[in-house]
Amino acid sequence: MPHTIIKTSPPGRLSDLQIKQALTGWISQGAVSSLGTEGAYNIFLPPGVTVSLSPLEASCKVFCDYHNTVNNAKGPFYTVEPYPCPQGCNQCTSDPFDTLTQGLSEEIVELKTDMDPGTGWVIGNEELCDYCNTKFVCNRISTGEYVNAWYDKGKNACWKGPAGQGSELLSSDLDTNRARVGTGS
């Protein structure tokens, strides 16, 4: 499939509305299959392109990546992965692929647990990974990829790494002195 370009205005900056319009256009034109409520689209932006959720909220300044929906619980659902910022945004290495993998893992978990942002599993006003990102940890799994921690309601802790591989859970205590606790299996 050929690359699809979204025209930006001003140059190098997209709004979430432009992302929504482009996605619905791709679906209606048959450029991508309609997933309905059975999946999500991952939109990766090239270097030098930022996205804004509002005039004051832009990627690399307020957030790294995000997920959203075009039509609330009816979908379609999508993640937006801007090219990694020069500074910040959970950089575990200098490799942009590692940063994108970590960011995408966060958005996939949050998308699954909160498809229509703010209506699913949240802790206060934070989604499961955002809650655990208060003290960001580079979390490399056994296959080498970096993934995000997320809150495990059953263990009242933030998951970090797969069980049995020296992984840990970060005790939540809802933001009070998050101690590390081994998973044991």
- Please give the pLDDT value at position 6: 62
CA distances from 30 to 1, 2, 23, 25, 27 (A): 11, 13, 11, 8, 5
Residue 8 has what pLDDT? Answer: 57
d(CA 103, CA 17): 21
Q: What is the pLDDT of residues 87-127, one digit of tens each?
A: 767 678 888 888 888 889 889 988 888 888 888 888 888 88
| pLDDT score at 67 | 93
Please identify which residue in the block is written with the tokens 């909160």.
Answer: 114
Q: Which residues in the chain come in under a pLDDT of 70?
A: 1-11, 88, 90, 135, 160-185
User: DSSP string of 148-161?
Assistant: --EEETTTTEEEES
- CA–CA distance, 101 with 73 (Å, rounded to integer): 26
Q: What is the pTM (predicted TM-score) of this model? A: 0.78
Q: What pLDDT, on a 0 to 100 scale, did the predictor assign at position 66? A: 93
Q: Do 102 and 146 contact (CB within 8 A), yes or no?
A: yes
pLDDT score, position 102: 87
pLDDT score recorded for residue 40: 93
| Token code pair at residue 19 | 């992302």
Q: Please say whether the beta carbons of 79 and 104 come within 8 A.
A: yes
Residue in 63, 75, 84 with CA at minimum distance from that of residue 130: 63
